[in-house]
Amino acid sequence: MRDVTAAMTEAFPTEDPLLLIPGPSDVADDVLAEMARQVVPHYGPEWTAFFNSVVQRTKWVLQTKNDLFIYAGSGHLGLDAVIASLFEPGDSVVVGCNGYFGERLYELAIDQELKAIKIDVPWGEPLTVEVVESVLDAHPEVSGVLVVHGETSTGVENPVEAIANVVRNRGLLFVVDAVSSAGLIPLEVDAWGIDACVTASQKGLSAPPGVVITTVGPRAWAAVDKRRVPIRGWSTNLAKWREFGDRDYQPYFITMPVNVVRALDVSLRTIEKEGLHARFERHRAVSEYLRRGIRELGLEMVCHDAHALAPVTAFRCPSGKTAHQVRDELLSEAGVHVSPGLGPWNKDVVRVGLMGRNATFGTVERFLTALKGIVGRL
Ligand SMILES: *Cc1c(COP(=O)(O)O)cnc(C)c1O
């Protein structure tokens, strides 16, 4: 057992690594500086006017006019709220499972006592319209479809726009986990017809962790309003969020992480200046450069380029090393922090996140030089 007194005197290492994990990601200095400002109340006309402007900016990133909530919590809280509020215990839903976060969505649905049916696709491959349609054909009882946009565990982008089309045609509710995609790759909540979309501050929006972002469209509200069984819980009850969300004095009846919201605002302004299209292009170009560089070192990608999720790249370890060894060596020798794979890929796969300010060619070069040092020694 660890010596408690010793542990209490330990500080986090003073030198910050270059954070190339698949989120959270390093944030810009002006975003960090905003965090250091004094605490303000989460109510009152000043806060409400400011908060509403942040909501508007975030709606622009997600390309939506639907209701959008910025709430205290991480991505999972928003997913829990959506699942608990749109569906009733016993409802059937179909869940896309081609990685760890798809499995997680399935787990969240089961926790809410839904009958969840998996769309099983091997890790490293994307969901396809065909497989979604065949599962829906076999299960006419389902009322909704839940998918992950960017499968952070495998670095695969699922074809959400095409799947949305199928789901729309069948009149089912469509829920998307866009935690690792929103703000980094194209995502159009309204044009594609996403009924509820969840992301968080710390990945594609390049702010510190602390708030979850959830969009709720008219079909989703209709499902909330026609429930027979009341929504259980309080913090994860979208009807409660809505009830308070339209007041002009206090957006929510919980205390908000005001500093995170302010930091998010600074980051959103930077995203606005760059423009969404330019931001998406930058992430795409840098990701291609990274993939080419990793391959030139003789290493293998876990997914085909055609399905690659720009902000998260996953590759197989050099033989003779585990993912944890690669992680430890990159961190101690080069100050570069990457992540091992998740679940069954924990030993053999390394994941690199390039998000926001770290999505640059210079960052890729620093990473590749460090990786080359490790591969060259083998
Ligand atoms: C990071 C991530 C999550 C988890 O979000 P939290 O903010 O940690 O709750 C969920 N889904 C995906 C796809 C992610 O990348």
178 lines ligand 1 (CB under 6 A): no
The whole-number pLDDT of residue 245 equals 65
Q: Give dist(CA 301, CA 343) in Å, integer.
A: 17
H or E element that contains 108: helix 100-111
What pLDDT is recorded for position 376? 80
Nearest CA to ligand 1 atom 5: 75
Centre of ligand 1 to C-alpha 77, Å, is 10
Q: What pLDDT is stored for residue 315 in this prediction? A: 98
- State how far the Cα of 286 lies from the Cα of 288, in Å rounded to an integer: 5
Distance (Å) of CA 297 to CA 300, 317, 347: 9, 11, 19
* Structure token pair of residue 367: 């990473």
Which H or E element spans position 337? strand 336-337
**314 backbone dihedrals φ, ψ, rounded to 5°:** -120, 135
Tokens of 100: 């760890």
Q: Which helix (H) or strand (E) holds 147?
A: strand 144-148
Give 45 Cα–ligand 1 centroid separation in angstroms.
32
Amino acid code (one letter) for 346: N
Residue 74 CA: nearest ligand 1 atom is: 7
CA 149 to ligand 1 centroid distance, Å: 11
Pocket of ligand 1 contains residue 211 by CB under 6 Å: no
Tell me the pLDDT tens digit for each residue of 259-308.
999 999 999 999 999 999 999 999 999 999 999 999 999 999 999 999 99
Q: Is 101 in the pocket of ligand 1 (CB under 6 A)?
A: yes
Q: Is residue 145 within 6 Å of ligand 1 at its C-beta?
A: no
Instruction: Tell me the pLDDT tens digit for each residue of 24-76.
Output: 999 999 999 999 999 999 999 999 999 999 999 999 999 999 999 999 999 99
Distance from the alpha carbon of residue 298 to the mean position of ligand 1, in angstroms:
30
**Below-50 pLDDT ranges, the chain:** 1
Pocket test for ligand 1, best of 71, 76, 264, 352 (most atoms within 8 A of CB): 76
* Per-residue model confidence (pLDDT) at position 88: 98
Distance CA 178, CA 203 (A): 10
Residue nearest ligand 1's atom 12 by CA: 179
Q: What is the pLDDT of residue 323?
A: 97
pLDDT for position 15: 79
Question: Which pair of structure tokens corresponds to residue 8?
Answer: 């209490």
Q: 358 C-alpha to center of ligand 1: Å?
A: 19
Collapse the DSSP code of 277 into the 3-class scheme (helix H, G, I; strand E, B; otherwise coil) and give the result: helix
How far is 294 from 262, CA to CA, in rounded Å?
A: 37
Percentages (nearest 5) of helix, strand, coil residues in the chain? 45, 15, 40
* Among 308, 334, 330, 335, residue whose Cα is nearest residue 317: 330
The pLDDT, as a whole number, for residue 226 is 96
* Residue 73 CA to ligand 1 centre (angstroms): 11
306 SS3 class: helix
